[in-house]
Structure 1
Amino acid sequence: MLLCFGSAKGSPGATTLAVAMAARWPHPAPPPVVVEVDAAGGDLGSRWDTYDEPGLASLASSVRGGPIGDGADFVQHLRVGADVIVAPPSDAAAATVEELRIKGPSVLRELAAVRPVFADLGRLDPQSRVLTYLDKADELLLVGRPVSAELRHLRMRVPSLRRRCPVVRLVLVGDGPHQPEEIADYLQIEIAATVPHDPVAADILAGRKRPRRWRQPGARRDAGWTRRPLLAAARSFALTYRPPADPAADPAEAFDAGRNTAAEPARERLEATP
């Protein structure tokens, strides 16, 4: 399973959600691996004060030599319980993503046959180098907040993203003036899940906050911090998640047809909100 995470505007928490789902993945082994392929630069290495290698750059060098197997040579394990392949920061990430531009999507597709892969694509601008990963993905989970500014950007981006990926769904983060049903009508997209805005859990997943129990020898991984609202929601979503089996034949046509009917009243209501 190759599951991509991304956003259309700002930083609504795509990386945080990917790490949360990996950390609380409830299904039998092998565990998922979060792969940072954001051309703007990786964050996980800096957040967790890890080395840049093993990581995406060594994976990029290795693909020239053949299959990468289960990817274990490029994985680092975060203390929250998530396996990650970290990208280097800033311009070094852009160079690495460019090096992987041709083979990278197929490599992650092959790795996804061995273990679940959560590809963190960052912000999906129209000219982004990472859009090619959508061509190989089983699903794209767009992460956004239920506020007009972000939703209007999503409305412009969803049609082109659906032409590249067979299934695109939305994960809403936090509360806002618009209800999930209204947003689904407006965007003509399925709401995959809603997760709470939980700054404490986000800080834990980013390595900025270390739960006290981590300092105790033999502390259990399912200690109290794993019951934070965001982590509980990520686990609940993961428990029910199944890869799409039968995507629509032409999601772009379905979107265009829908926006002329149910989408119009929702558009009027949402765009009238500041």
Structure 2
Amino acid sequence: MRRLIVVGSVTGAPGVTTTALALAVVWPSEADGGVRPVMVEADSSGGDLMIRFGLPSAPSLLDVAAAARQPYPGSLLGAASELPCRVRAVVAVPGRGPCREAVRLLAGEAGRRVLLGDEHDRGTVLLDVGRLGEDVEPLLAAADRIVLVARGGAEPLTHVSACGLDADAYTGRVSLAVVGPCPYPAEEIAHTLGIGSVVFLPWDAKSVAAMNSSRQGVLRASGFRPPPLMTSVRTLARRLAAPPTDEMGTADVDRGRVLVQVPGVEESGW
């Protein structure tokens, strides 16, 4: 079965879709035997990628949700589009009503079977759920890893602390991406929130703009002196792809959370 990684936020719009896109761009091929990941927009408030990349007639999350009702729903990959940044993505329509119903169906048992595939399917699904809510709780329970994305101020970090994720239920599976200027040192945040590991992802406006460009081949994610954002996101991707005891260490698994800090991000870029 496929690996499922849920990417979401507790409040606001701190850059969940951009984070999921970046992870898909740099996902290590050796993690899944060369199988490329699939990003799925499953935000109840509506999708962004269909308009951003000009895909009005592309298959969408609605097709996946409708197929999940069928006795033989087919493959998730049948609804994936190829984005200019070389990411396979199942996009969502920009509408709250239809997307909310589609996410509800996706979170059901039949929808989760479509996401995860059968025992012969390999690869990783990066599920962009936007803001966390009751509708995605079954998806959180089924996820191999969860990446929470939040801004770096006191209020957003307090919301993360109080978001209600059961520490015992999600031990070793939760990472936190702190987006934007943060006045607190990594050690203080780690101690306050009970986080075992800190990875810094520097802000890189050029990489974000290239990732969201409609032109093919604009984004440079590897090679000699790759962009700093891509380098750091690759480190995060490798941690997410590895078994908990391999990359995170025993102490990280015991403490149950990983912090990823992304300083200096402007809201308009994410």
TM-score by length of 2: 0.77
Relative to structure 1, is the Cα distance of residues 14 and 191 closer, same or farther in structure 2, using a 3 angstrom cutoff?
farther
1:263 corresponds to: none
Residue 43 of structure 1: which of 31, 40, 48 is its match? 48
Residue 124 of structure 1: which of 129, 132, 137 is its match? 132
Residue 25 of structure 2: which of 23, 27, 48 is its match? 23
**Structure 2 CA distance, aligned partners of 1:121 and 1:8?**
11
Unaligned runs of 5+ in 1: 215-219, 256-274
Q: Is the 8 A contact 2:220 2:226 kept in 1?
A: no
1:14 corresponds to: 16
1:160 corresponds to: 165
**Structure 1 CA distance, aligned partners of 2:87 and 2:118?**
16
Matches within 5 A, 1:82-161: 82-90=87-95, 91-102=97-108, 103-110=110-117, 113-125=121-133, 128-157=134-163, 159-160=164-165
2:236 corresponds to: 237
2:5 corresponds to: 3
Task: Extract structure 1 runs of 4+ deviating beyond 6 A.
Answer: none
CA deviations on 1:94-152 (whole Å, 9 max, x unpaired) are 12223333222333233794211111111114xx3112201110111111222212101
Relative to structure 1, is the Cα distance of residues 100 and 36 closer, same or farther in structure 2, using a 3 angstrom cutoff?
same
Residue 2 of structure 1 deviates from its aligned partner by 0.7
Q: Is the 8 A contact 1:170 1:192 kept in 2?
A: no
Q: Is the 8 A contact 1:145 1:151 kept in 2?
A: yes
Count of aligned pairs between the two proteins: 240
Q: Is the 8 A contact 1:173 1:194 kept in 2?
A: no
1:185 aligns to 2:187 (yes or no): no
Higher mean C-alpha displacement, 80-89 vs 182-191: 182-191
Q: Is the 8 A contact 2:23 2:237 kept in 1?
A: yes
Q: Is the 8 A contact 2:16 2:130 kept in 1?
A: yes
Q: Is the 8 A contact 1:146 1:175 kept in 2?
A: yes
**Structure 2 CA distance, aligned partners of 1:136 and 1:153?**
23
**Structure 1 CA distance, aligned partners of 2:177 and 2:230?**
14
CA deviations on 1:47-78 (whole Å, 9 max, x unpaired) are 11113531211111222232534x22110011
1:204 aligns to 2:210 (yes or no): yes
Q: Is the 8 A contact 2:42 2:127 kept in 1?
A: yes
Matches within 5 A, 1:165-176: 165-166=170-171, 167-176=173-182
**Structure 2 CA distance, aligned partners of 1:88 and 1:192?**
35
Residue 76 of structure 1: which of 75, 81, 91 is its match? 81
Q: Which amino acid aligns with 2:19?
A: L
Q: Is the 8 A contact 2:40 2:128 kept in 1?
A: yes
Residue 168 of structure 1 deviates from its aligned partner by 1.2
Unaligned runs of 5+ in 2: 257-270
Aligned-residue identity in percent: 30
**Structure 2 CA distance, aligned partners of 1:177 and 1:140?**
25
Q: Which amino acid aligns with 1:73?
A: G
Q: What is the CA RMSD across the aligned residues, in angstroms? A: 3.1
CA deviations on 1:232-254 (whole Å, 9 max, x unpaired) are 2212322444344469xxx9x97
Relative to structure 1, is the Cα distance of residues 22 and 254 closer, same or farther in structure 2, using a 3 angstrom cutoff?
closer
Residue 202 of structure 1 deviates from its aligned partner by 2.2
Please identify the structure whose Cα radius of gyration is greater: 1
Relative to structure 1, is the Cα distance of residues 254 and 236 closer, same or farther in structure 2, using a 3 angstrom cutoff?
closer
Residue 184 of structure 1 deviates from its aligned partner by 1.4
TM-score by length of 1: 0.76
Q: Is the 8 A contact 2:14 2:150 kept in 1?
A: yes
Q: Is the 8 A contact 2:196 2:255 kept in 1?
A: no
**Structure 2 CA distance, aligned partners of 1:15 and 1:233?**
17
